[in-house]
Amino acid sequence: MKTIGDLFQEKPWQWGLRGDPHLWEEMQSHFAQTPLPDQMEQLEQLLTQAFETLTGQPITAKEFIAVERFPRSGMSGGMVSPAFWRETAVPLLLKRFAEISQ
């Protein structure tokens, strides 16, 4: 793995809301050319900044985030779960980074 985007190759086995897989794909594209940083803290900061850039809300948001450009089908269509990203997605990506950094 050479870029942050490479960390997104394998998708999580479960999502928070219907918009989360779309954000995952956008994040993968967003980081496709971004080299892996040296430190895990740098990676975490880049991920949280990208989350806010792509959703318009911080990852610390308490409410679900409606992303208008994502498909709106289903009850949670177009919605992103900040909790999923804080508690599942970002920790998963940091774990992958730690595994390849050893």
pTM: 0.94
- 3-state class percentages of the chain: helix first, strand second, coil last, to nearest 5: 50, 5, 45
How confident is the model over 30-84, as pLDDT tens digits?
999 999 999 999 999 999 999 999 999 999 999 999 999 998 887 778 999 999 9
Rounded CA separation 6/97 (Å): 10
Rounded CA separation 21/101 (Å): 26
How confident is the model over 44-59, as pLDDT tens digits?
999 999 999 999 999 9
